[in-house]
Structure 1
Amino acid sequence: MSDHRTEPRRRGDQLLAAIYDAVLAELTQHGYAAVTMETVAQRARTGKASLYRRWPTRVEMIMDTIYSRLPADDSMIDTGTLRSDLIMLFERFAGELNGPVGVALRGLWAESLDDPEQHARVRGYSRHGGLRLLRSIVERAAARGEIDPAVITDQRLEAGPAILRYRLLLDGRPLDVAGLVDEVVLPLLAGPTVPTGRPVSGSPARP
């Protein structure tokens, strides 16, 4: 058996890719609980010190790994129309959630229930990457004139990903991605703009 200490030392992006691959392999083969600094270091053929220099805990390591699976930028999803871009993006999300990324998120959320600080970190990670890409795609569509920029709000952007996560991570039923886009995401983005100083919900709007 080869000893990683006798092999050429990997650094930078090469080592990071090996660590990410090791985390995903542990998730796939053994589940969330099996992912430890020790098992990942062994599989990546590196030392635990290399991991701790990058991440203070396994939680940060796992979160960085699963969000490395997102496209680096929105240029990878550019079909020329908003509907097609959204379907491509949500299919990408669904594919990841049906694999080791989904295993990791279920484990992270379950583990964070009794730890408010960790729960906040997990929630922040789970919203940031996907929403960044979604917002970029929607803003590009607005620049093309497909939608009004005024409809781009956090609540409207969060609805589609929230349903996707619920169905694939908690509910377990199959998800029709095109249906999600056509029935939820696009209607929200085609809806009326929110006026500045809108009235409190339930009160009549002034003429």
Structure 2
Amino acid sequence: MPERRRGAALEKALLDAAWEELAAHGYAKFTMDAVVQRAGTSPPVLYRRWSGRDELARAAVAHVLDQARVEVPDTGSLREDVLTLMREINRTRARFVTVMNAHLAGYYQETGTGPGDLFAAKHRKGADVLFDRAVARGEIDPERLSERVKSLPFDLLRHEILVTFAPAPDHVLEEIVDTIFLPLLS
């Protein structure tokens, strides 16, 4: 008889199963019952944690992003920190962003959200560290750092990936940072 999963191990198994269902069938065919079956558990176990498929899908995406966490660079300059972070996201997440955009189209339509809503919160925490450091070094005026300005380079990177279905070339990342983002801060 298999060992009974509990706590964090059970939650990980449920989120892994939810992610596998999303990746295999997309949100349109994503059901709580399919996740229950894939995880080898019972409906009450799943519903105690997530009340519906939209909440579970959001949790599964967050789980995958947490597992593939990108380290926040500290190069000593805002420009290099932002470029380094964008390059890492571009290198490790381009396929993920493209596939999930297609698989989650129904989720966005059903919940009235978009890719920025789902992915931005994860990037915001890391990016806030970069901006706090830049403010402390005197590189930028904190008054110029609205949430939209802080998210801009990452939003443009996501847009580039979704338009081209490929990682952005390095010269595009530099153009985003040097000709669009940094001028907003000076």
CA distance in 2, matches of 1:84, 1:63: 31
Structure with greater Cα Rg? 1
Aligned to 1:104: 100
Question: Using a 3 Å threshold, how does the CA distance of structure 1 residues 191 and 20 change in structure 2: closer, same or farther?
Answer: same
Q: Secondary structure at the match of 1:69?
A: helix
Letter in 2 for 1:153: S
Deviates more, 1:78-87 or 1:7-16: 78-87
Structure-1 separation of matches of 2:160 and 2:103: 16
Q: Relative to structure 1, is the Cα distance of residues 76 and 122 closer, same or farther in structure 2, using a 3 angstrom cutoff? A: closer
What is the 5 A alignment of 1:57-76?
Answer: 57-70=52-65, 76=71
Pair 1:16–1:167, CA change in 2 (3 A): same
Q: Cα RMSD over matched residues?
A: 3.2
In structure 2, what is the equivalent of residue 133 of structure 1? Answer: 126
Deviation at residue 58 of structure 1 after TM alignment: 1.3
1:39 aligns with 2:34: yes
- Correspondence 1:184 to 2:180: no
Of residues 14, 21, 27 in structure 1, which corresponds to 2:9?
A: 14
Partners of 1:8 and 1:186 lie apart in 2 by: 55
One-letter code aligned to 2:18: V
- Give, in whole Å, the separation in 1 of the partners of 2:94 and 2:70: 22
Closer, same or farther in 2 for the Cα pair 1:102/1:12, shift >3 Å? Answer: farther
TM-score by length of 2: 0.75
Write the distance in 2 (CA, Å) between the matches of 1:88 and 1:20. Answer: 30
Q: What residue in structure 1 maps to residue 135 of structure 2?
A: 142
| Structure 1 residues 97 and 26: CA distance shift in structure 2, 3 A | farther
The 1-side partners of 2:87 and 2:12 are apart by 24
TM-score by length of 1: 0.69
Letter in 1 for 2:183: G
Q: Which runs of 5+ in 2 are unaligned?
A: none
* Percent of matched pairs sharing the same residue: 28
CA distance in 2: counterparts of 1:192 and 1:59, whole angstroms: 36
8 Å contact from structure 1 (residues 109, 119) kept in 2: no
CA distance in 2, matches of 1:47, 1:89: 40
Out of 135, 148, 154, the position equivalent to 1:161 is 154
Rounded to whole Å, the distance in 2 between the matches of 1:53 and 1:9 is: 17
Extract unaligned runs of 5+ from structure 1: 1-5, 195-207
Deviation at 1:70, TM superposition (A): 3.4
Q: How many residues align?
A: 183
Higher relative contact order (CA 8 A, sep 6+): 2
